[in-house]
Amino acid sequence: MQNNNKVVLHFLNGGVTKGSTEDFFPNKNKFHLRDKDTGKISEIDILQLKGIFFVKNFDGNKEYKEKDNTERTGLGKRIMIRFKDGETIRGYTSGYSPERSGFFAFPSDPESNMERVFVLKSATADIKFT
């Protein structure tokens, strides 16, 4: 059975697209996205992206204030990621390597709508272990 991941794509140009993917792999530059509204499938070039946010649901909760100081075990080292557009994410990673073009990070808050994010290093301004 194929895994149907709900994702929110954040593009370098500021655009956001929501949908699902069954063929994203961190070591490949392209994957397919099924648009959540139209069902249309399109090929995505990850070099156009800031990050691929894997989410529990597409609506989220705009009222929810994420906690960024929650201690979580088993997810790796604490990390702070600042993107070139100014957004900052705090979480955990065990897959960061300076040689790779991207890595997975997990949110500090287990109640976050985001399950994990694949961060494209080219879209970051600063990465620190905290």
CA-to-CA dists, residue 75 to 12, 58, 62, 94, 108, angstroms? 27, 24, 25, 6, 10
Distance CA 5, CA 88 (A): 23
Total of domains in the chain: 1
The pLDDT score that the predictor gives to residue 3 is: 59
Residue 2 has pLDDT above 50, yes or no: no
* pLDDT mean over 52-70: 88
Digit-coded pLDDT (tens) for 66-116: 887 788 888 999 999 999 999 999 999 998 998 999 999 999 999 999 999
* 3-state SS class at 107: strand
Q: Which domain holds residue 76?
A: 5-58+66-129
Answer for the pair 119, 103: CB distance below 8 angstroms, yes or no. yes
Digit-coded pLDDT (tens) for 17-33: 999 999 999 999 999 99
pTM for the model: 0.93
* pLDDT mean over 5-20: 96
* pLDDT mean over 39-48: 97
